[in-house]
Amino acid sequence: MSHSSDHVDALPAPPERLALPGSILAASVLVVVAGIAAFAWALAGGHAALAWSSYLIGVFFALGLGVFGVAWIAITYLARGTWSVSMRRIPEAMTAWLVPGGLLTLAVGLGAPSLYHWSHRDAVALDALLTHKAPFLNMNMFYALVAVSLALWVVFAAAIVGASRRQDQEGGVALTARSHGLSALFLVVFALTISVVSFYLLLSLDAHWFSTMFAVLVFTDVIQTGLAFVAVAAGLLYASRKLKGFLTASHLHSLAKMLFAATGFWAYIYFCQFMLIWYANLPEETVYFLKRAQNGWLPYFLLLPLLKFVVPFLLLISREAKRQPKKLVPVALVILFAQFWELYLMVGPSIGHGHETAHAHLPVVELVVTLGFVGLFTLVFGWALARHGAVPLKDPSLAECLEGGRS
């Protein structure tokens, strides 16, 4: 890395603080109101399972975006990904969701009777497997372990993002070195805690099913979807020229290559889970996919790999698609919608047990509630984005980032 004064003097003029357009803020408020109304309508209409499953889909979607912010910062620190420095404010602002999003995630416990079979003591008493899992699958452990996991995310996000904010004032390389150490520790903690959170919130919907690949699949979901959100934000910023000189087509190209790689990685992990279960052909494993092949779910299930792999893979192959916002942003939006679709397939077929197994339906309420969470996330993201400088001007890697962006 170069820290010479001639590189510093060569920096473009510092951009103004970033603020979301009024149209995006207004649309966010509208979808938040619509999401609240849809949730309240389902709950008041006696459709508690529909209301809380929609809530779970939406809150997990937004939570994944929030924790991705700190995960991506940690990954780029450790990988010496200097190309990402000029767009670091985007993932930093995403981490602001972790406090309100964490509280909203814990509220899933209020809907546990409608979501989780293991939350009913009488059902557990009559089921040998649930009784065996009861020391882990109970509401006290649910609240304790999920809360601890979320708290650790908040603490690491505050420490890593806080170091970046301090560097804006103090400069130097000491805070960068500190962030490298925190990043290494966070990724170890993240690997464990994302497993805990995904097990309780999603996997335990089918308490008789298990998969050693599930936590890895959720990790790939978080990475792919988070990169898609960053691609949307960075693409719009590039198109609006608000970061002129700091965000270039080369930077978008690097980001899009990472998104392209994450798309292929998701397909690999998704296929591995399916292939291993199909090959072993064990009843306690195949039940997950059998549910998604019955009661009208099969077309929904087959659509998922098209939305989340085939379409974005084909559209992102070309070099031009990775460098042009008008091509990159629509593909990223498809991936974001595909994440909603995948969560719907994780949650929807698992609601109800035995003769009450859910049937497929167009996820109108689920989509509106999820859009409500996305709108609320966008408002928090916009608030955090506008509070600090648009670019980390005193990061020692910024000059290298801008030099690489000229290629």
Task: Please enumerate in sequence order all residues whose Cβ is within 8 A of that of 134, keeping only pairs 6 or more positions apart, or say none.
Answer: 118, 124
Contact 291, 349 (CB under 8 A): yes
Contact 329, 236 (CB under 8 A): yes
Phi-psi region of 352 (alpha: psi -120 to 50; beta: other; left: phi over 0): left
Q: Is the pLDDT of residue 138 over 90?
A: yes
pLDDT digits (tens, 9 = 90+) for 46-98: 999 999 999 999 999 999 999 999 999 999 999 999 999 999 999 999 999 99
Determine the Cα–Cα distance for residues 253 and 249; give it in Å rounded to an integer: 6
Q: Is the pLDDT of residue 192 over 60?
A: yes
Task: Please enumerate in sequence order all residues whose Cβ is within 8 A of that of 201, keeping only pairs 6 or more positions apart, or say none.
Answer: 56, 60, 105, 108, 146
Which contacts (CB < 8 Å, 24+ apart) does range 196-203 have?
A: 196/145, 196/146, 196/149, 197/63, 197/105, 197/146, 197/149, 197/150, 200/142, 200/145, 200/146, 201/56, 201/60, 201/105, 201/108, 201/146, 202/56, 202/60, 202/343, 202/346, 202/347
Task: Please enumerate in sequence order all residues whose Cβ is within 8 A of that of 113, keeping only pairs 6 or more positions apart, or say none.
Answer: 48, 119, 120
Read off the pTM. Answer: 0.95
What is the CA angle 303-308-311, rounded to 5?
A: 85
Average per-residue pLDDT in the chain? 93
Determine the Cα–Cα distance for residues 135 and 20; give it in Å rounded to an integer: 46
pLDDT digits (tens, 9 = 90+) for 316-368: 999 999 999 999 999 999 999 999 999 999 999 998 755 566 889 999 999 99
Output the pLDDT for position 353: 55
**Predicted confidence band of residue 404 (pLDDT cuts 50, 70, 90):** confident
